[in-house]
Amino acid sequence: MIALVRQNCRRMTRTESRAATRRQILDTAQRAFAREGFGGATIGAIATEAGFTKGAIYSNFEGKEQLFLEVMKEYQEQSRISAIAIFESAPSKFEIVERLGRWADVLAQDGAWSFLALEYARHVGTDSSFRIVQSDMMRENWLVIGSKLRPMFRDDLPADAEMLGTLVFELTHAPLSGLTASPTVGDLIRLTFNGLLAAYGVAESI
């Protein structure tokens, strides 16, 4: 029993402590950016809310721009993983489209991230290395999902994998989509891809 208590009370290594600090900062920054916007959130306020000094943040991130990119990267990875799961579990291409529509509606309910991405892009400018990293992250998501979609269509579909993935994510994260109740982004996903399947879909084996 004593050995078990000692094991549970083991002090974290420096690597573990640094990882835990980074995790706490990222979680706090995610809430701050969603609540205050990129411009409104400050390193000082994030540090205070997380229970650290500003120095702790700067020892893990170059500044607010890189911190935002790391938060956005995690958000995009989570949305990509949940989308990939649809392709692995849906029994037909039409069910894939239906589930993608529901997935898009769920993401669109948190429309703050669409506006945040635009706000950040305006802040860093077109020539910034941070803007390039943001663009690369988005294109990676487009290509991964588009590569799952492309085999559902014949070769004569005038769109490659990246374009199909772009359709999914741009419809899902359209900044103004959350301002109206209908049509939803899921409706737009279904209309677009069911129409493409009707015109270019690969016949499903029986």
pTM of the model: 0.80
Q: What is the pLDDT of residues 91-142, one digit of tens each?
A: 999 999 999 999 999 888 876 677 787 777 777 776 678 778 888 888 999 9
pLDDT (0 to 100) of residue 177: 62
Instruction: Set out the domains of the chain in order of their start, with CATH numbers.
Output: 9-61 (1.10.10), 64-206 (1.10.357)
Q: Which amino acid is at 205?
A: S
Give the N- to C-terminal CA distance of the chain in Å, as an integer. Answer: 60
| CA dist list (Å): 22 to 64, 133, 167 | 14, 20, 34
Comparing CA positions, the residue from 81, 62, 76, 80 lying closest to residue 30 is: 76
Q: pLDDT digit string (tens) for 56-87?
A: 999 999 999 899 989 988 888 988 999 999 99
Residue bearing the bigger pLDDT, 20 or 125: 20
pLDDT of residue 200: 97
Kindly tell me the sign of the dihedral angle through the C-alpha atoms of 57, 58, 64, 70. negative
pLDDT grade for 2, boundaries at 50, 70 and 90:
low
Query: Does residue 28 have a pLDDT over 50?
Result: yes
pLDDT digit string (tens) for 145-156?
Answer: 999 999 999 999
Please report the pLDDT score of residue 192 as a whole number. 97
Average pLDDT value for residue range 192-203: 96
How high is the pLDDT of residue 178? 60
What is the arithmetic mean of pLDDT over 182-198?
A: 94
Q: What is the CB neighbour count within 10 angstroms for residue 118?
A: 13
